[in-house]
Structure 1
Amino acid sequence: MALNYYEVMTTDLGLLTTAAGKWEAMAGELKKVETRYGDTVQKITTGQDWQGLSAGTAHTAFAATRYEYAAAQIQAKAIAGLLREAHEKFTDLKKKLESARADAVAAGMTVSEQGRVAFDHARLTPAERSAYHHDPDGQKTIAEAVTKWQQHLDDRVKAVTELDQGVKNALQGAVVDSNKDAFGKGADQTLTGFNAGARGELAKAPKPDESAVTTKPDGAEFTGPDAGFSVSGTKYGKEGSAKAYAELFHFTAKGESTKGGVNWSGIDDWSLGARASANYGATNSGITGKAEVSAGLRGLLEGRAQKGYGEVYGRGEVFVGGEASASLGVGKDGFNAGAKAFAGEKVGAAGGAELAGLGAGGTAEAWYGAGAEAKATFGKGDDGKWHVGGEVGLALGIGGSVGAEFTVDTDKVGEAFDDAADAVGDFTGGVKNTVGGWLD
């Protein structure tokens, strides 16, 4: 969007250096968090007490998280640098506009608050004013001078607009992950994370993709130690619940990015502690009972890509500790039943895809320990989709589990059919009109 004379002359450019200072301070705070993360969470994977596949997976994931903290510092410093340089260049261009205005006034012009140039008739004596009204050539000369000075001021404003667009592009490019240390070249495991390749100079800042690039990092949260307990009875058709937890730490980071029309999202979640929960009751949806208890280290990394009616996802999970659960639900929207007991280490992967509301996915886990699991689902979940699937697992030393699930999102299926019908209608209507034209 083009700027105007009034905006250029009245904008407080000092806010740019204020913002730059805050970004630099943010980099300092991120450094503190990175150090704390390395000394507490990441340190768990660097000792000799934890070995095995899960240790290797956690080591990679924790190193990737610390990498993002370091990349966030680079990105914050780069943005600060861009803002400081922007302040310097905007200030210089504003001074040139002020100088152009002063030159126009010195040449006998007036310049309004909105930047409109006019001849200053107030400077003329009565005799000069009379001569002006009776001199067509003089009037033409003055009109040409007004046009020249107006163009001169407009060019100075245009220069500020061009710089403004360049700064905008540089800031957008600075927050897009360059992935310079991804794909096996370093610890970067997130394709839409912070930009470790961000540059704080406008001339060196990469331009954003021609396709709109937007990034929405929801941020990272680190808590702990923490503990809590809550109980609620059944009432007004709602389930009763009881929950208790005690965590040494809980870390969650998630973000979302859109590039080339594809929406990318991811989550990184790790916790170490114990928790227990139970849900029970009879509502207008059916009868539900579920109990779960677990203690240990749990981690999850998930990424999704979605465009139009298509979506794919991949997920990795790790668990070290013990867990047990049982669930049963029967109602108008289907049923589910499952039981699980396990102690040891788990490393798992899951993946799937959805097209036009119809989805399919599978899971596989490697177990080192002892336990068994069985689960079956047929019905509508909390996400509004219909789920059909199951999972079985067994280990006495070494073992694992496999599972599969099919989903139907009735809303998306309906939307897809509506769009398809519209497309067919447009096509047949076009054919009808074309053929009709031949017969006319």
Structure 2
Amino acid sequence: MPLSYKDVTTADLGPLLSASEMWQKMGDRFGELKGHYEKHVQRALANGNWQGLALAAHQNSATFTASEYAAAKTEALAVASLLKQAHTELSRLQKSVKDLVADAKAKDYKVDGSGKATYVGFDKLSAQEKQALQHDPDYPRAVADAQQKAQEWTDSIAKAVQTVDEADQSVRRALIRAAGFGGFNAHAEGDLAKAGAPGDSATKPDGWKITTTGPGIGFTATGSPSYGKEGRLKAYADLGHFTAQRSLTDGPADVSVTVDAYAGSRATANYGFSNKGISGAAEMSTGGRAMAEIREDSGHIPLYLRGEGFVGEEAGVSAKATKDEFGVGAKVFSGAKGGVAGGFEFAGIGIGGTAEGWAGSGVEGKFGYRKNDKTGKWKIGGEAGAAVPFGGALGVEITVDPHKFGKAVGHAADAIGAGSVKNAISNWL
């Protein structure tokens, strides 16, 4: 859960420094142990008096143990550095919140335990001053102005608290990453700005673009009254999200590869009612999913092949009707599923299919079409499936690219000399 105003203003950050000192001592001690182990165990037994396969096996094990001591030192010193930086940063941000509250109080605004500001300047007036003020024609305006400024103080305090929470989440991510998995982390990062970043995206020397996010937890609620009503709720507890992409260009070939994996829990709900149309959806899922896709887009008949897998629980319902999109769907599933999808495109029309195998219990059905505003493509698709306890699902996906289809028709018309047909179809598209 996000930090509250009370959490931020009452937190004792002193233990962070104490913990940092202990981790620093631990790191130094691991360094000493590594030196002692190498001198009194690893090198001492390699003095030439012991020979054979047993020595070789022991030295391999000893080398690994020494590297673990070194990794433990690196990890401990990184954690010590992160905790020290966390104390500095969180103390600074906590002081910013307290200074903001002090400024509000100095201007006669009281801040309660939740961070809400209320103007109390009128309470300091004498009875005669209050009576005179209430008969002043500008009194309603003064009250409204005080309420508006109180809301501005409340919003500023909430924003400052959110900044502290974001920094706290950054520290959490950094510490989790420094700890590593399956042993000590020999590459632990001690820079809070780098280790605590919400995600990492970089293009590797071999051409892969890698993006990672998480761990993370949060809740958001948004809404807009513009041109109708729209709103969205989202709660999540992400263990991690990994995406890798690469384009492989070799002569005339144009191949792209995408790998995506996610683990965690998410729940979303949204609604919309505006001049564009109506929509509503609610969905939750807990578990892990992965996808790998390869596409070849350079030839006359582009191809794609996609594999997907999911383990966990999911449920959802959705409906949407706008000028450029219509769709309905519902699903509930618990277990494991895996599937493949493939297809091709010819003359601007793509045809693909999906097939899934399910082990668990559930049912799913969906159908819809939509237009991509950026590309102008239309996509039509549907899927249905069920399992108790084994089963699966089949689906179809069709895309129509009016621009490519128009060009294909034009080329065909040129080939047979049907210019009037070409112009008529081109104008229609």
TM-score band, normalised by shorter chain = 0.3 to 0.5
TM-score with structure 2 setting the length = 0.47
TM-score with structure 1 setting the length = 0.46
